[in-house]
Structure 1
Amino acid sequence: MPSATDAHRPVVLDRREGPFGEVVLRERGSDFEIIANGCFLMDTSDGRSERLLIDAALAALPADRPEPSVLIGGLGVGFSLVRAAEEPRWGRIAVVEREQAIVDWHLDGPLGRISGAALADPRTEVLRTDLVDHLRTTTERYDALCLDIDNGPDWTVTEGNGSLYSAAGVEACRTRLTPGGVLAVWSAQPSAEFESTLRNAGFRAVTTEEVAVARGVPDVVHLALRGE
């Protein structure tokens, strides 16, 4: 008979080598976990902070802005996308995800039970590309950027992601926003340096919202508005 310890031991469901390293989908009890290059990225045990990422961005936009567009980076376990699809006020919902494995786990794998309805929503589009590259090359502008591709500005999954939180990366985010648009960035811990970078780039109303977690410091969402 399996012991209680066995029930909580992670089981690898899929392991892939991609252009940015190894990504792994694990099952632990009733939850799923995504591991990137040996670094725990996220799981399905809670999701409050991922939902706050979307809710806080929408709340920061003017209530009279019709059908605002949102860019979510990346797909993860799907909580942010699901939250956006649950809100009828959003118009276009674009999701950037560079890891084909993660997209597959949602479209044809076990994560589909979380995101299936949201992915089928006609407002949803999955962009299979790197977020940093997309921000620098697209001409599309969004009312909200909701970014959750790392454990935060000070703890990136890959070295190349660090440029997103630099002065140049923040400026790329500002350029991709409509006037009055909102940038929301998830982080496992607050980053005073990132807040300073946002202010120096000309963002206004820079704030940090906390979400309590079971252990350790709270998760946070960094929020900033582009000036008119």
Structure 2
Amino acid sequence: MVRKVRRLPAAVAGAMIAAACAFTLSGPTAAQAAPKPKLAPAGVDIVGDKLDQPLRLRADTHPTEVNAVVDQVKWLGATGQQRGPKAEDLGPKYTVVLLNGGTPTKTYDLYPLAKGGPRVYRPAKQPDLSKTRAGWFYGRLTMSEVLRTAGVPLERQYDTISGGIGGGERVIPEESLDPGQDINAAMGELQRLLLLNVGVIMVITSGLAGIALLVRRRTR
């Protein structure tokens, strides 16, 4: 009877140790089996002129638009121009914020209708607190159409030809195709070239004549 009583605490202790081991082994498995939280998709937010509410584009629902907007700014170099155009020459402004997993990372100011071509301004203060140098950059010629396609209220631009997302080139203006204008310009350039050549020939001739006269005087 005494042996049975002594064996009882030992059996209870063994059962508790086995249960603890089983819990320890099953802990990591349960943690690994737990589903990982789903990250928010990447995207862009756009605010600016004539936009009553921000445009919120996400990669899972608007992948083409998001990629096109990101392509407008992803190529910018480390440094840009310190001075930009005059305020009256910039036109409407649109601030684009890039998001990664729902968190803002970068911000840029886009001016698609700036005089002399689209412009981009990158502020030094960025949402991700990265060290960035403020600067102005020339933007892609497709900026206006990309923003319009994304939902920005801009008039359609017919003076650009799309060369793929983020590409494009300016269409030749109609006035530049005027034959009369081209001929007049060409004749003017030819006349200036002829006058320049005549001037050079006269200088060379005068120099040679002076050298010949000096040599003749010395040989007498």
**Fold conserved (TM > 0.5)?**
no
Which is richer in strand?
1
Q: Work out which structure has the larger RCO, using CA pairs closer than 8 Å and 6 or more positions apart in sequence.
A: 1
What TM-score results when the alignment is normalised by the length of structure 2? 0.29
TM-score by length of 1: 0.29
State the structure with more CA Rg: 2
Higher helix fraction (1 or 2): 2
